[in-house]
Amino acid sequence: MATFKIGDLTIGGRQKIVMAGPCAIEGREQLLQIAREVKARGAHILRGGAYKPRTSPHSFQGLGPQGLFYLKEAGEETGLLTITEVMEPEELDLICKYADILQVGARNMFNYPLLKRIGRTDKPVMLKRSFMATVEEFLLASEYILKEGNQRVMLCERGIRTFDHITRNTLDLASIPIIKKMSGLPIIVDPSHGTGRSDIIIPMAMAGLVAGADGVMVEVHPNPKKALSDGLQTLDFPHFKEMMDELGDLYRYLASAEEKRTNRITGATNP
Ligand code: PEP
Ligand code: MN
Residues 6+ apart with CB under 8 A from 118: 86, 92, 102, 104, 125, 145, 148, 150
pLDDT tens, residue by residue, 5-51: 999 999 999 999 999 999 999 999 999 999 999 999 999 999 999 99
The predicted pLDDT at position 105 comes to: 98
Using CA atoms, how far apart are residues 266 and 62, in angstroms rounded to an integer?
Answer: 54
The predicted pLDDT at position 167 comes to: 98
| 137 pLDDT higher than 70 | yes
Instruction: Encode burial over 41-50: b for 16+ CB neighbours within 10 A, e otherwise.
Output: bebbbbbbbb
Using CA atoms, how far apart are residues 111 and 91, in angstroms rounded to an integer?
Answer: 15
The predicted pLDDT at position 162 comes to: 98
What spacing in Å lies between the alpha carbon of 180 and ligand 1's midpoint? 21
Q: CB-hemisphere CA count at 13 Å for 58? A: 0
The band of 258, judged by pLDDT with boundaries at 50, 70 and 90, is confident
Q: Is the pTM of this model over 0.85?
A: yes
The protein residues having their C-beta less than 5 angstroms from ligand 2 (an ion) are 23, 230
| 203 pLDDT higher than 90 | yes
Find the ligand nearest to 171 CA.
1
Ligand 1 binding pocket (C-beta < 6 A) is 23, 49, 53, 105-107, 128, 158, 193
The predicted pLDDT at position 269 comes to: 63
Higher pLDDT, 261 or 221: 221
Partners of 46 in beta bridges: 20, 82
Name the residue of 85, 126, 234 to mutate for ligand 1: max ligand atoms within 8 A of Cβ.
85
Q: Which of 193, 155, 166, 174 is nearest to 49 (CA)?
A: 193
Using CA atoms, how far apart are residues 136 and 20, in angstroms rounded to an integer?
Answer: 28
Using CA atoms, how far apart are residues 233 and 143, in angstroms rounded to an integer?
Answer: 30
Please name the helix (run of DSSP H) or strand (run of DSSP E) that holds residue 260, with its range, or none: helix 237-266
pLDDT tens, residue by residue, 218-256: 999 999 999 999 999 999 999 999 999 999 999 999 989
Residue type, 162: T
| 271 pLDDT higher than 60 | no
pLDDT tens, residue by residue, 148-160: 999 999 999 999 9
Spacing of C-alpha 189 from chain mean position: 6
Task: Delineate the domains of the chain, giving CATH numbers in brackets.
Answer: 4-266 (3.20.20.70)
| 1 pLDDT higher than 90 | no
Judge contact between 32 and 73, C-beta under 8 A.
yes
**Which residue's CA lies nearest to atom 4 of ligand 1?**
105
